[in-house]
Amino acid sequence: MKNTYYVDLVSGDVLDRPAFEENPSFKIEATDEELHELKSCLDESYTADMQAYIRSHIPYVEYHKDPANDLYDQSIKKIYAIIYKLGDAEARRFIEEIGILEEDKFMQDEEIQKFK
């Protein structure tokens, strides 16, 4: 059975109701299994973000040649792909408008494509 949740990408929270005072949320309909997968992806993204943050303090490593940044970018795209799959029309429209799932570099990634 699917339930309604609100995903806040800034905080990484998945809530039962929208946080009006906080950041805008994506509305999704998800089963317990889908929710678990999304939360796992949010956790992975946080870890990748922290690794990229640590790397950012090393001036001689360029952003575009850094695996930590690539991992973070990929995790964000996977989260958007899941939200696109589970989200309402407004969430899908927003994701289409920003074009995050349409970048050529990631079109070959099977992990992303399975959620589209």
Whole-structure pTM value:
0.77
The 10s digit of each residue's pLDDT in 80-116 is: 999 999 999 999 999 999 999 986 554 556 666 666 5
pLDDT at residue number 45? 87
Q: Are strands 13-15 and 3-8 parallel, antiparallel or unpaired?
A: antiparallel
The 10s digit of each residue's pLDDT in 47-75 is: 876 777 666 656 665 655 666 677 878 88
CA distances from 24 to 106, 110, 115 (A): 26, 29, 22
